[in-house]
């Protein structure tokens, strides 16, 4: 099979698996990204996410993750859902966590793609990644032309917005490569202005994760610093503010993934019910959910913090 044929096959497989978009870039050392990551870490913007400083060499060189790697295939998977929680006073959960854990849902699709690639092309070696390994996902997606990294530091697409998950296949098969697109944030500062904790730098493109509501409610295992007590805007798990205000998300369309549909129970729960949630109810409601990352005690901590 020629390089062009293999590339066409992989694009077709991605579409069949329901991916929103696909881009391909050359697997190589990421020199400018390595410098930016080093600077970001040196300023302690990663907070207590110590794992961000681990495996630095693998983060910036895909051949350290997959020996002989030639191509990085970046994919996006839509999770946009315009439905909001029924009770406007209820603690809020980020849209991406409405349904089943995206890691498993998307990784199963990647495994299916790899199986067909090997069947059609031959002995192709590689690995699948969904936000669970030292991979600079946004940078690879940018390199492959799926969008630009916006002022809120998320990947943005003129056609698709930003409500999507990122995933990668890093393989030892050379394919036709795509090219980056230009930045279209322009003079807009809506995400910067809307962030209640000032986590985004005044000029954009740099995030102090230690101030981000998603970090405070999910990644931080200690008590949330008191300085944020009036800045959480009701979020108990994650935060969608910088995406909600982004003009490019007017082009977002509702996802078609049944696994990402929220239960009626989740969407109808009242504020008091969240305040009184028990561990048994938590375990039942979030058995397959990414919310398990914060565990019951973490979610209770977040809900109590909102009541201060």
- pTM, full prediction: 0.96
Q: What is the pLDDT of residue 132?
A: 81
d(CA 50, CA 222): 14
Separation CA 65–CA 61 (nearest Å): 7
pLDDT at 280: 98
- Rounded to the nearest angstrom, the gap between the alpha carbon of residue 209 and the centroid of all alpha carbons in its chain is 14
Residue extents of the structural domains in the chain? 3-171, 190-247+262-306
Name the pairing type of β-strands 235-237 and 92-93. parallel
Rounded Cα distance between 134 and 60, Å, is 8
d(CA 181, CA 228): 36
Residue with tokens 């199963």, as numbered in its chain: 108
25 close to 135: Cβ distance less than 8 angstroms: no
Q: Could you confirm whether 172 is annotated as catalytic?
A: no
Positions of the chain with pLDDT lower than 50, given as ranges: none
Cα separation, 299 vs 221, in Å, equals 11
What average pLDDT does the structure give for the chain?
A: 97
Q: CA 33 to CA 60: how far, in whole Å?
A: 7
Given the residues 61, 87, 131, 178, select the one marked as catalytic.
Answer: 131
Predicted local distance difference test score (pLDDT) of residue 1: 85
Backbone torsions φ then ψ of 148, nearest 5 degrees: -120, 160
Strand partners, 127: 170
């Amino acid at each position: 099979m020629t390089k062009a044929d293999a590339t066409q096959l992989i694009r077709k497989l991605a579409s069949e698996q329901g991916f929103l978009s696909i881009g391909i870039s050359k697997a190589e050392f990421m020199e400018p990204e390595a410098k930016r990551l080093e600077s970001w870490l040196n300023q302690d913007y990663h907070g207590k996410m110590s794992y961000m400083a681990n495996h630095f060499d693998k983060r910036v060189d895909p051949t350290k993750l997959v020996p002989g790697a030639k191509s990085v295939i970046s994919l996006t998977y839509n999770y946009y859902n315009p439905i909001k929680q029924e009770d406007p006073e209820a603690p809020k959960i980020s849209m991406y966590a409405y349904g089943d854990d995206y890691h498993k849902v998307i990784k199963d699709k990647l495994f299916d793609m790899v199986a067909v690639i090997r069947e059609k092309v031959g002995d192709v070696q590689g690995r699948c990644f969904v936000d669970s390994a030292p991979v600079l996902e946004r940078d690879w997606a940018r390199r492959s032309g799926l969008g630009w990294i916006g002022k809120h530091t998320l990947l943005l697409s003129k056609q698709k917005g930003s409500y999507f998950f990122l995933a990668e296949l890093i393989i030892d098969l050379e394919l036709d490569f795509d090219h980056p697109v230009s930045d279209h944030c322009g003079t807009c500062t809506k995400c910067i202005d809307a962030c209640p904790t000032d986590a985004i730098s005044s000029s954009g493109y740099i995030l102090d994760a230690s101030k981000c509501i998603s970090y405070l409610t999910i990644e931080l295992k200690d008590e949330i610093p008191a300085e944020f007590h009036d800045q959480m805007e009701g979020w108990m798990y994650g935060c969608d503010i910088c995406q909600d205000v982004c003009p490019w998300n007017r082009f977002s369309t509702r996802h078609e993934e049944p696994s990402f549909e929220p239960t009626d129970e989740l969407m109808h729960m009242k504020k008091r019910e969240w305040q009184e949630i028990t561990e048994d109810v938590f375990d039942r409601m979030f058995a397959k959910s990414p919310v398990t990352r914060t565990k019951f005690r973490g979610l209770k901590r977040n809900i109590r913090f909102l009541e201060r």
